[in-house]
Amino acid sequence: MAPETVAVIGASTDPGKASGRTLRYLRHYGFHGRGYAVNPARDEVQGFASYPSVKDVPEPVDLAMIVTSGKHVHAALRDCVEQEIPSVIIVSAGFAETGEEGRAMQAELEACVAGSKTRVLGPNCVGLVSTRVNLGATINTGLDQDRFQFRNSGVALLSQSGAMGAFIFSTCQGKGVGLGTMLSTGNEMDITLTDMLNASIDDSEVTSIVGYIEGMRDGRGFIEALERAQDAGKPIAMMKAGRSDTGQKAIASHTGVLAGSDKVYDAVFEQYGVHRLDTIRDLADYVELAAVEHVTPGPRLSIATTSGGAGILAADYAERFGLTLAEWSTEWQQQLATALPGYSALGNPIDMTGAGGRPEVLAPVLDTLLAHPDTDVPVLMVGNLENNEAALVDLIAEKATASPKPLVVVWVGGSGRPLSELSRRGVPCFDEPLDALRAIAARSPRHRGGRAGSHFAHDTTRAAQARELIARSGATAALDEAVSKQLLALYGVDVVQERVAHDSEGAGAAAAQIGFPVVLKALHADLHHKSEVGGVQVGLESEQVVRDAAEKMARRIRDEQGLDIDFTVQQMVAQGHEVLVGLKRDADFGLTLVIGAGGTQAELLDDVVVRLPVLDDEEIARTLGRLRINALLSGFRGAPPADVDALVRTIRGVITMSAEIGDLIDGLDLNPVIVGDRGRGAVAVDAVVFVRREVGN
């Protein structure tokens, strides 16, 4: 509910100071409610009644905004708590963002509100803007101008950076594009971005949500909010800072190296239909469409242009962004022909030639374009046309307003006035075809991913067996390869035939039982990359060769690594495609699924996809299709296709294991899984399961 009374604590008489801006914004933008100043030295501040304390304000305060210096914040917040003011914004900085002393000061604020009825936004934030009630409870200097009045829409902007939120808000409002709310969360001492995301989902006037984020403290809560947004049908687009993995510490596996934190955010966004945008301009373009259209009906475009070359360019961009060009039947092309010169191209894109810049020609073309039943999004592309721009703007705005479909305009060159005028009149208008097509793609419906536990039945007996196996191992860091494979076998993952031996004699005997040739591997829970320390020998053809290799391997690893090893003797697996399948625990979001090129190519190619481990078989297959090695799996240049179905079953087993006993697992590395030709299966020949540290303690 919008606040009716706002008190600015520490308000300055100087409207140019940060502490004086909010009162100025309340007056300038015409706040629908009542504003008060709290300044013990004044009876009046910038035309607002002023009181020594918020306790002295003559009516209940809905929202208090603290703009005092840091040392006075605690006392001001205490007064708000005592008055049971429901909402407080702390703009003041100098808290947890500054170091140990600041963290201690922020802890005092947390203690002050603990158990109270007061909720706090900040500290160290720029506040909020609600264009519904013309409330500028902010120090955002983007409001320091007369270029715009607030323009409302159903779009809510949430930002973990005050400056970035301010930049985006000002960019949108300056172009005449509506934003319903802008809110920055600052240090998130109390109210988090996830809290505001949930509030926006529950707000019936919010139709779309955009955000700028730097990191989530409660990944599970964030995911639950994204699920709620899907259920509510509210699209979300976000900028996420920090694409670099610099400084990230990963567990000792290929999986950990390949699954950087930024890829995890991509996985979360993909699973829950969040469009990730890269720049402020991308986000502002997205908002322009979101402000007039809840979500575009589909991906089919019809493009009418005064330039054949521009139409070709737009078609290229459409393909890049996964959009399609609508089919136009002969009947519909004939309707176009009645309005256009005979030399016009009536396919899609529709080349109107220069004639399309005349209102009397454009009007019937737009009527046909907007009425075409197989078109989801009509796109009009024109350029220059300064002599006719006023009439064309009026025509376009009239047709767009009357249409149930979103008309998107690209106007290149000319005076630039049509861009702001059409945007102001609710018609999305861009000066670059690339921007328009990207925004349309971002507003198109997204595939709805699965959710944890929705694709299999939980097997309590199997889960109990798996937990007992891990507990019996006594591992506190990683299971050895043999135990790891026993665990995987419980979940239907095919593993290579192998035997464990404790010495060279036993290794030779195990090899004779399996049958030659064999693979000899060092077995120790602390050896994760055995080939790098001489812990793998392949193609051994006799007992004596196996015994000699085992003795040499044990001696080398004891001398160089200080480890006394056992051995696994494995059946040689026929050649096939090497695939990596893994799990990695992300600090924010828990276990993530990693699939990519395996074997020695794993880190070399960086051909990897990170997803959340909640996929059904169809989604697994679709994910495999995004890998570069999918060309090989599909049968490259006449080679037989691989047994992708068997690989899907392997990945499904890993996903099921993560759902049933994921609380015990820090990571998993199956590298490689050997995928044979179709019908020959997929076999995990090397495996290590990293267990959580508390296990066994």
Residue-level pLDDT at 57: 98
Q: 589-642, pLDDT tens digit by residue? A: 999 999 999 876 766 677 999 999 999 999 999 999 999 999 999 998 889 999
Q: 247-280, pLDDT tens digit by residue? A: 333 333 333 334 447 889 999 999 999 999 999 9
438 is a domain residue: no
Single-letter amino acid, residue 113: V
Q: Which of 433, 449, 465 is the last residue of a domain?
A: 449
Residues 217 and 175 placed together within one structural domain of the fold? yes
pLDDT band at 450 (very low <50, low <70, confident <90, very high): low
Number of domains forming the structure of the chain: 5
The rounded percent of the chain whose pLDDT value lies above 70 is: 94
Single-letter amino acid, residue 612: L
The strand pairing partners of 382, in sequence order, are 411
pLDDT band at 242 (very low <50, low <70, confident <90, very high): confident
Q: Which of 539, 572, 605 is the last residue of a domain?
A: 572
Q: Which of 531, 547, 572 is the last residue of a domain?
A: 572
User: What are the CA-CA distances from residue 165 to residues 168, 172, 200, 213, 278 (Å)?
Assistant: 5, 11, 16, 10, 14
CA separation for the pair 417, 409 (Å, rounded): 13
Residues 580 and 551 placed together within one structural domain of the fold? no
Residues 6+ apart with CB under 8 A from 154: 180, 205, 206, 207, 208, 290, 291, 294
CA separation for the pair 551, 533 (Å, rounded): 15
Residues 525 and 658 placed together within one structural domain of the fold? no
Q: Tell me which residue of 149, 78, 154 sits closest to 116, measured CA to CA.
A: 78
Structure-derived torsion over alpha carbons of residues 448, 328, 289, 354, reported in degrees to the nearest 10: 160
175 is a domain residue: yes
Terminal Cα distance for the chain, rounded: 50
Q: Tell me which residue of 518, 496, 503, 419 sits closest to 685, measured CA to CA.
A: 496
Residue-level pLDDT at 296: 73
440 is a domain residue: no
pLDDT band at 216 (very low <50, low <70, confident <90, very high): confident
| Tokens, residue 495 | 């593993």
Residue-level pLDDT at 696: 40
User: What are the CA-CA distances from residue 289 to residues 91, 372, 408 (Å)?
Assistant: 31, 20, 8
Q: 164-211, pLDDT tens digit by residue? A: 999 999 889 888 888 999 999 999 999 999 999 999 999 999 999 999
676 neighbors 665 (Cβ within 8 angstroms): no
- Its domain, for residue 71, covers 1-123
pLDDT band at 454 (very low <50, low <70, confident <90, very high): low
Residues 394 and 483 placed together within one structural domain of the fold? no
Of how many residues is the chain composed?
697
CA separation for the pair 258, 596 (Å, rounded): 9
Among 50-54, 141-145, 232-236, 550-554, where is mean pLDDT lowest? 141-145
Residues 535 and 647 placed together within one structural domain of the fold? no
Over residues 36-54, mean pLDDT: 97
Residues 484 and 622 placed together within one structural domain of the fold? yes
* DSSP E strands, 426-531: 429-430, 498-501, 518-523
Q: How many helices (H) and strands (E) does the chain have?
A: 23, 30
Angle between helix axes 504-514 and 543-561 (nearest 10 degrees) is: 140
Over residues 14-19, mean pLDDT: 95
3-state helix, strand, coil in the chain (%, to 5): 40, 20, 40
CATH code of 589's domain: 3.30.470.20
Residues 546 and 691 placed together within one structural domain of the fold? no
Residue-level pLDDT at 295: 66
The strand pairing partners of 597, in sequence order, are 579
Residues 173 and 291 placed together within one structural domain of the fold? yes
Q: 65-120, pLDDT tens digit by residue? A: 999 999 999 999 999 999 999 999 999 999 999 989 999 999 999 999 999 999 99
Residues 563 and 652 placed together within one structural domain of the fold? no
Q: Judge if the upstream peptide bond of residue 123 is cis by omega within 30 degrees of 0.
A: yes
Residue-level pLDDT at 475: 85
142 is a domain residue: no
134 is a domain residue: no
For the cut 70, the answer to whether the pLDDT of residue 693 exceeds it is: no
CA separation for the pair 164, 280 (Å, rounded): 8
**Average confidence score pLDDT of the chain:** 91
Q: 526-543, pLDDT tens digit by residue? A: 887 788 899 999 999 999
Residues 469 and 589 placed together within one structural domain of the fold? yes
| Tokens, residue 38 | 């709290």
312 is a domain residue: yes
Over residues 121-143, mean pLDDT: 95
Q: 340-399, pLDDT tens digit by residue? A: 999 999 999 999 999 999 999 999 999 999 999 999 999 999 999 998 999 999 999 999
CATH code of 350's domain: 3.40.50.261
434 is a domain residue: no
Burial, 42: exposed, middle or buried (Cβ in 10 Å; 0-12, 13-18, 19+)? middle
Burial, 693: exposed, middle or buried (Cβ in 10 Å; 0-12, 13-18, 19+)? exposed
Q: Tell me which residue of 487, 481, 485, 486 sits closest to 565, measured CA to CA.
A: 481
137 is a domain residue: no
Residues 483 and 375 placed together within one structural domain of the fold? no
Residue-level pLDDT at 319: 94
Q: How, if at all, do strands 608-611 and 687-691 pair?
A: unpaired
Residues 502 and 597 placed together within one structural domain of the fold? no
pLDDT band at 27 (very low <50, low <70, confident <90, very high): very high
